[in-house]
Copies of this chain bind each other. A is one copy, B any other.
Amino acid sequence: MKPKLTLKKIAKELDVSISTVSKALRDSPEIGEETREKIKAFARHYNYKPNNIALSLKNRKTKTIGIIIPEIVHHFFTTVISGVEKVANEMGYNVFVCLSDNSFDKEVLNMEMLANGSTDGFILSLAKETMQKGDYHHLKEAINQGMPLVLFDRVVEDIACDKVIIDDVAGAKKAVQYLHDLGCRKIALISTVDYVSVGKLRTKGYKEVLEENGLTFNDDLVLKIEEMDDSEAQIEKFLEGLDVDGVFAVNEHFAISAIKSIQEQGKKVPEDVSVIGFTDGELSKRFIPSLTTVSQHGMRIGEESARLLIEKLERTPSEEEYYKTIIVETGLVTRNSTKSKK
Binding site for B on A (CB under 8 A): 1-4, 47, 49-54, 56-57, 62, 64, 72-75, 78-79, 81-82, 85, 89, 94-99, 106, 112-118, 141, 144-146, 253, 256, 260, 281-283, 286-288
Contact = CB atoms under 8 A, between A and B. Distances in A.
A89 B68 CA distance: 14
Contacts of A97: 81, 95-97
A117 B54 contact: yes
Contact of A3 (B82, B113, B146): B146
Contact of A57 (B50, B57, B94): B57
Contacts of A85: 72, 98-99
Given A51-B117, A94-B96, A97-B97, 14 more contacts: A2-B146, A49-B115, A50-B116, A52-B116, A53-B56, A53-B62, A72-B82, A73-B75, A81-B99, A82-B99, A94-B98, A94-B114, A260-B288, A288-B288
A102 to B, nearest CB: 13
Nearest to A79: B73
A96 B99 contact: no
Given A49-B116, A53-B56, A286-B287, A145 B2 contact: yes
A118 to B, nearest CB: 5
Q: Within the oligomer, what is the number of copies of this chain?
A: 2
A144 B46 CA distance: 13
Contacts of A49: 112, 115-116
A303 B1 CA distance: 27
B1 A146 contact: yes
28 contacts: A1-B144, A1-B146, A2-B145, A2-B146, A47-B141, A49-B116, A51-B117, A52-B113, A52-B117, A52-B118, A53-B117, A53-B118, A57-B57, A64-B118, A72-B81, A72-B82, A72-B85, A73-B78, A73-B82, A81-B97, A82-B99, A85-B99, A94-B113, A94-B114, A96-B96, A96-B97, A283-B283, A287-B287
Contacts of A112: 49
A262 to B, nearest CB: 12
Contacts of A82: 72-73, 99
A55 B62 CA distance: 14
Contacts of A256: 286
Contacts of A99: 81-82, 85
* Closest 6 pairs (CB-CB, A-B): A97-B97, A53-B117, A52-B117, A51-B117, A1-B146, A52-B116
Contact of A54 (B4, B57, B78): B57
A171 to B, nearest CB: 21
A96 B85 CA distance: 12
Nearest to A94: B113
A98 B50 CA distance: 20
Contacts of A54: 57, 117
B95 A98 contact: yes
A265 to B, nearest CB: 15
A286 B99 CA distance: 25
A249 to B, nearest CB: 13
